Structure 1
């Protein structure tokens, strides 16, 4: 496994629509997903789309596991990685929820985004098996956020032009300082 570089705004790849994975889940694709997961944990983040590491294919990794309060500080947090190949939202609730979102490709910027509160997904898992499931809460928010990446959309695209422009300017300034 390897940690990859995460691209940030205004990189043009982030506006590109990712292509579906052809030929199913292969060992090569699993290696990419393992790299993505290691990159996400290192960042640290809770979700990562392949396009964020420069791979324009429809693949997402995610881990929403929270650190238990009773876990000693020096103990590693348990991990529950999830893998999504060619994910599709096949249903979304009319009810909306608002979440304060951030993004590894838009570092140090957070803002509220409204999205459907529940969605039903269809995707291939790490083993290449088709999964259909319904999700809500943080899971629903995160999968929609990551699927936006697959369609060339960033969470800041859901904000006003002024907030979006400020976010891009902030990230550019952070890059100059680094």
Structure 2
């Protein structure tokens, strides 16, 4: 099965807002399978459909604390957050090789549909909580960069552009 193409920052598609999935059919299940394969092949722990250019509310993740259990959520929404905050170093498959410390709720309660169309709720904390919040941000057209102060965002954007320039030069010299 062919892997999906992950959009890279600053691709305009990364700021697009996803629409709810209206019907879970074979194509949606196939997309979820391809998203898992793409995420794992790229050594990620989460992926949103918007990152592969599909404007549907679908996220896939690996729960590292539960023996790498695969989780797919369709039309996810956070229904409860604790005030307790964690600050973790986040990365993103759409912004490879760049990381920043981001504040997120330590515990959340999220609801959505599973691949069978059944409503599920997940109480998540720590890494899974951060991952879900990160992926839902993608569905809303946000990147972890958008959660940084303007100064930190500017510094990181300059590093990203500098690295992209080096990569482009190497490609031209092949």
Distance 2:37 2:162 in 1: 27
Given that 2:64 and 2:128 are in contact with CA atoms closer than 8 Å, whether structure 1 keeps it comes out as no
Q: CA deviation at 1:79?
A: 4.7
Secondary structure of 1:146's partner? helix
Distance 1:57 1:154 in 2: 16
Spell out the pairing of 1:117-156 with structure 2 (5 A cutoff). 117-156=106-145
What residue number does 1:30 align with?
Answer: 29
What residue number does 2:172 align with?
Answer: none
Gaps of 5+ in 2: 168-174
- Structure 1 segments, 4+ long, off by >6 Å, are none
Distance 1:112 1:174 in 2: 20
Q: CA deviation at 1:62?
A: 0.6
Given that 2:14 and 2:141 are in contact with CA atoms closer than 8 Å, whether structure 1 keeps it comes out as yes
Spell out the pairing of 1:39-78 with structure 2 (5 A cutoff). 39-65=38-64
What residue number does 2:170 align with?
Answer: none
**Paired residue total:** 167
Worse overlay, 156-165 or 112-121? 156-165
Larger fraction in helix: 2
Q: CA RMSD in A?
A: 1.7
What residue number does 2:83 align with?
Answer: 94
Q: CA deviation at 1:125?
A: 0.8
